[in-house]
Structure 1
Amino acid sequence: MTVAPALRHTAIPGLLVVDLAVHGDARGWFKENWQRAKMTEVGLPDFGPVQHSVAHNGPTGVTRGIHAEPWDKFVSIVQGKVFGAWVDLRAGATFGTVHTEELDEHTAVFVPRGIGNSYQTLLPDTVYSYLVNAHWSPDASYTMLNLADESVAIPWPIPLEEARISDKDRVHPRLSDVVPVRPPRTLILGTGQLGRALAAELPEAQVLSRADLDLTDPAEVAALDLSGVDTVINAAAFTAVDRAETPQGRREAWAANATGVAALAAVVARAGARLVHYSSDYVFDGTAEAAAEDEALAPLSVYGQSKAAGDLVVSVLPRHYLLRTAWVVGDGSNFVRTMQRLARSGAEPTVVSDQIGRLTFADELARATLHLLRTNAPHGTYHLTNGGEPGSWADVATAVFAHEGRAGSAVRPVTTQEYAASTGGAVAPRPARGVLDLARIEATGFVPRDQWAALKDYLATSP
């Protein structure tokens, strides 16, 4: 019976030591060198390896590095023993931080890109195993550090003057001359309410508007350059729910929310990047008390159908976060700002009272996204809205009116059917209950803020 690996953190963020169970008898030994399900369960990133390489060093004292490579790397020992040294060469507060560890068949190390790694053999005929999440290329750009750098002062068991070192590795720069490795790029698609909130949380990310990239144009999407991009956050979508019920709107909704997402997913998969994509409670029929992530898809509208199709595409990517949300409110035109304006103008609006859900403030959704990315939460589908007691659109409107000093009776509640009849136009069917179960994202350590408290703070800001 195999035993789950144990994970140890180090002083270098993201550098993880894995203690592996090795089972042996008189015939030899066996270990699970890489077991994705068990290793991600204990906290190892699901880094998506695409290449396995094996290296052999014959003599004792062979010393390699210090090299920071442009990919993540899982290093283990098939045979022998080495002294490993790692130096953080990434830009940031931990630049120059050192960790050392002896590795044998019982030990492996996960080395994120940008961390310099070096190994010195302590036994003859040592064999290394490397798993990496990008294909090796002779054109790959490495960042190097001199093995003898005084500022990091690595305590080599075999003095460097006695070690076997390549000529190239002897002449690498000192730490003071090393240009820190910049983090991989994050690309945000979309400049709507959510896109702007994401950009505020990720000021170094590149943001593409529809003018920069038309998601409905397969040729444009196929030509998207993702070199150096680790994460693509797709906040672009067709969201005109009622317009999607018209012949032209139907085409536009499917082009952006399904066909375009499929084209984007293909580009992301080829680049080995991670995709963050947003979906909607409209992929459900609204019959669940609180829809969990595995609730059966049963969209009522064209918009919901197009979003459900996008969900299915994204769900097959190895590295993805699919965040379903509802009732998004952010910087710009939205239901809450409309009610605030009507309250100030003295109006008495009719508002639907039989659709129940929770608001999602765009900055809350952006923070949840960063939480998943920064904690390396398990990939997959998560539901995210603000928390607290659900309510109707009429309840939200009443709260807005009360904030503006208007009586709740100024908001006139109506049924969805009554509202649809009063518009005289095409109104898409909507789920009567759009409440999403938040247990899975809360289990990662992110607890969404109460929607009613968040609403008060939002209303206190200038529209």
Structure 2
Amino acid sequence: MTELSVEATAIPGLLVVHLPVHQDSRGWFKESWQQAKMTALGLPDFRPVQQNVSYNATRGATRGIHAEPWDKFVSVSTGRAFGAWVDLRAGTSFGTSVHVELDPSIAVFVPRGVGNSYQTLEDDVAYSYLVNDHWRAGETYPALALDDATVAIPWPIPLADVGSSGISAKDLAQPSLAEVTPMAPRRPLVIGARGQLGRALLAQFPDALGVDLPGSGAEHVLDVTDAAAVAAWPWHEHDVVLNAAAYTAVDVAETPVGRPVAWAANAQAPATLARVADEHRLALVHFSSEYVFDGTREVHTEDEPLSPLGVYGQTKAAGDLAVTTARRHLVLRTSWLIGDGGNFVRTMARLADTGVSPAVVHDQVGRLTFTADLAAAAHHLLEVGAASGVYQVSNGGAPTSWAEVAEEVFVRRGRERSDVRRVSTQEYAAGKEMAPRPAHSVLDLSKLEATGHVMAPALERLDAYLAGLAGLAGSE
């Protein structure tokens, strides 16, 4: 009896599994699929949803080569078969082939987009396969001629000898490799694509599809608070969802008008996405805020209990908790976001350019986060396969107050530091309807750094950001 083992092949992701078969005078027994043992040896936890069995009565039955848009785990329950696979995915391995003789002790994991085929080597062969998605009517996908000369699969029984009795008319009519349109990879989906962070994510993930709310002007629209719209979306086309959508009107969130909108966008929508992610085997990346904390600690860690002060923070905290129920998730908690759009730094630059001397609070302390750096951190965590969980992401360097940031902007725009008037939060809020703000927004970055990613200092990135801004006099 062989030991359970997993063997890589020339096709990336195509794995041959050697299965122990326990035999005695009565017959044999094997574990066709054993999640814990097999994933420990490197087999993907592909979460099958359906099992199919193809019974082949006579020797020489030949089926394939079809590249479905789902993963398969194939084996034979009785008899022997010659299995052949051809990579029909876009990329450098397109056209690569692998063949293996299948018996009850051999199984093969076939990734999405790899053409799967087999030929029975004896009568009464039961060919079994697990799949991790359901068949969808009307969908077409790549297929290849069994006798393609480029791939040249060495069928044990010549196809001419098999004839039409052993090969379907459909398989006899499949195209050559040169005529096959490769299967495109699943692509990331960026939700909230027209916002500051969404734009940075699309730049970082150039193959991604960006969506935003109806009426936003986006080419592709999706309202994730609309159950019908979410149900109708073709999630099988994606592998990662990056949720940059949020209701960020912190003060309006405290009002009867803003409160339900904030809860729908910041809590209900992430909960919906968490369910979608599990149903469709997606990685869910969700962006959160330091407003989930009350700001009483000078530095916040990922495991600090949530303690939001206002409605905005409460809704973001609820969204964080919902996202962590997804099997594969990353919650990226950030602070003081600066990107392509209206933001504090851009406003201060405009005020500096137009001769205004603003009053800015000096008792709220944190670090700026530039959207390009936040997007790069998200890409890094996905690339290295970081464990699911919460990761805090801001730019590095010494913490500053909002007033100090304003002063740094003013100096870089040729104004004096003293042109920024420092005031307390209480002074600034006098006579205004304002939501509470955390006094301390500094995020501990050690967990992110442990994955091999170090964020650039905030003031260093501020220089680069301001250098990219044209004069803002009269703008905004």
Check whether TM > 0.5.
yes
Shorter-chain TM band:
0.7 to 0.9
Q: Which residue of 2 aligns with 1:199?
A: 202
- Indicate how the Cα distance of structure 1 residues 296 and 179 shifts in structure 2: closer, same or farther if over 3 A, else same: same
Q: Which residue of structure 2 aligns with residue 314 of structure 1? A: 323
Separation of aligned partners in 1, 2:46 and 2:334: 26
Deviation of 1:278 (Å): 2.0
1:343 shift after superposition = 3.0
Q: 1:453 aligns with which of 452, 460, 472?
A: 460
Q: Distance in 2 between matches of 1:101 and 1:377?
A: 34
Q: Contact between 2:222 and 2:230, CA under 8 Å: does it hold in 1?
A: no
Instruction: Indicate the SS of the match to 1:143.
Output: coil
The change in CA–CA distance for 1:23 and 1:110 in structure 2 (over 3 A counts) is: closer
Q: Scaled by the length of structure 2, what TM-score is found?
A: 0.80
- Aligned in 2, Cα 1:62/1:291: closer, same or farther, shift over 3 Å? farther
One-letter identity of the residue aligned with 1:430 = R
Query: Separation in 2 of the partners of 1:83 and 1:443?
Result: 46
Candidates 269, 276, 298, aligned match of 2:285: 276
Distance in 1 separating the partners of 2:243 and 2:93: 30
Which of 428, 431, 435 is matched with 2:442 structurally?
Answer: 435
Q: Which secondary structure does the structure 1 equivalent of 2:442 belong to?
A: coil
Are residues 227 and 30 of structure 1, via their aligned partners in 2, closer, same or farther at CA, if it must alter by over 3 Å? closer
RMSD: 3.7
Deviations 1:94-123 (A, max 9, x none): 432334455666665443322212234567
Residues 241 and 303, structure 1, Cα contact 8 Å, conserved in 2:
yes
Partner of 1:382: 391
Give the CA deviation at 1:409. Answer: 4.4
Q: Alpha-carbon deviations, 1:431-457, whole Å to 9, x = none?
A: 333333445545555444443333222
**CA deviation vs aligned residue, 1:362-407 (integer Å, no higher than 9, x gap):** 2223333344455555444433333444433334334333433444
Task: Give the number of equivalent residue pairs.
Answer: 456
CA-CA distance at 1:85 after TM superposition: 3.2
CA shift, 1:302, in A, is: 0.7
CA displacement at 1:69 relative to structure 2: 0.3
**How far off its partner does 1:410 sit?**
4.1
Superposition deviation, residue 174 in structure 1: 0.5
Partner of 2:50: 51
Q: Is the alpha carbon distance of 1:48 and 1:26 closer, same or farther for their aligned partners in structure 2, counting shifts above 3 Å?
A: closer
C-alpha separation between the residues in 2 aligned to 1:7 and 1:353?
60
> Partners in 1 of 2:394 and 2:16 — Cα distance?
35
Q: Which blocks of at least 5 consecutive residues in structure 2 are unaligned?
A: 216-220, 471-476
Corresponding position of 1:98: 97
Structure 2 residue corresponding to 1:253, chosen from 262, 273, 277: 262
Deviation for aligned residue 1:346:
4.0
Question: Cα deviation per residue 1:45-88 (whole Å; 9 max; x = unaligned)?
Answer: 55443223344556665543211002123345666665543322
8 Å contact kept, 2:274–2:325 = no
Distance across 2 between alignment mates of 1:80 and 1:358: 65
1:179 aligns to 2:181 (yes or no): yes
Deviation at 1:21, TM superposition (A): 7.1
Report the equivalent of 2:237.
Answer: 229
Instruction: Tell me how far apart the structure 1 counterparts of residues 102 and 377 of structure 2 sit (CA, whole Å).
Output: 37
Aligned to 1:218: 226
SS at match of 2:405: helix
Give identity over the alignment, percent.
53
Match of 2:213, SS state, is coil
Greater C-alpha radius of gyration: 2
Distance in 1 separating the partners of 2:37 and 2:289: 28
Deviation larger for 273-282 or 26-35: 26-35
Alpha-carbon distance between aligned partners in 2 of 1:373 and 1:177, rounded to the nearest angstrom: 34
Counterpart check, 1:118 vs 2:106: no
Q: Secondary structure at the match of 2:257?
A: helix
Gaps of 5+ in 1: none
Whether the aligned pair in 2 keeps the contact of 1:226 and 1:271 (CA below 8 Å) is no
How far residue 188 of structure 1 moved from its aligned partner, in angstroms, is 2.8
1:428 deviation in Å? 2.2
Aligned to 1:136: 135
> Are residues 438 and 23 of structure 1, via their aligned partners in 2, closer, same or farther at CA, if it must alter by over 3 Å?
farther
State the secondary structure of the residue aligned to 1:144.
coil
Please list the CA deviations of residues 223-256 of structure 1 after superposition, one character each: whole Å capped at 9, or x if unmatched.
6432643244332210011221223222221122
Contact 2:223 / 2:230 at 8 angstroms: preserved in 1? no
For 2:46 and 2:296, the matched residues in 1 are separated by 37
Counterpart CA distance in 2 for 1:4 and 1:346 is 74
State the distance in 1 between where 2:44 and 2:402 align: 40
Partners of 1:280 and 1:57 in 2: CA distance: 58
SS for the counterpart of 2:250 is coil
Give the match for residue 419 of structure 1. Answer: 428
Q: Is the alpha carbon distance of 1:381 and 1:66 closer, same or farther for their aligned partners in structure 2, counting shifts above 3 Å?
A: farther
Q: Distance in 2 between matches of 1:378 and 1:108?
A: 28
Structure-to-structure mapping, 1:342-353, within 5 angstroms: 342-353=351-362
Between the aligned partners of 1:315 and 1:298, the Cα distance in structure 2 is 17
**Equivalent in the alignment of 1:356:** 365
Shift of 1:195: 1.6
The residue type paired with residue 15 of structure 2 is: V
- Return the offset for 1:281: 2.0
Q: 1:60 to 1:453 in 2, by over 3 A?
A: farther
Rounded Cα–Cα distance in structure 2 between residues aligned with 1:257 and 1:24: 53
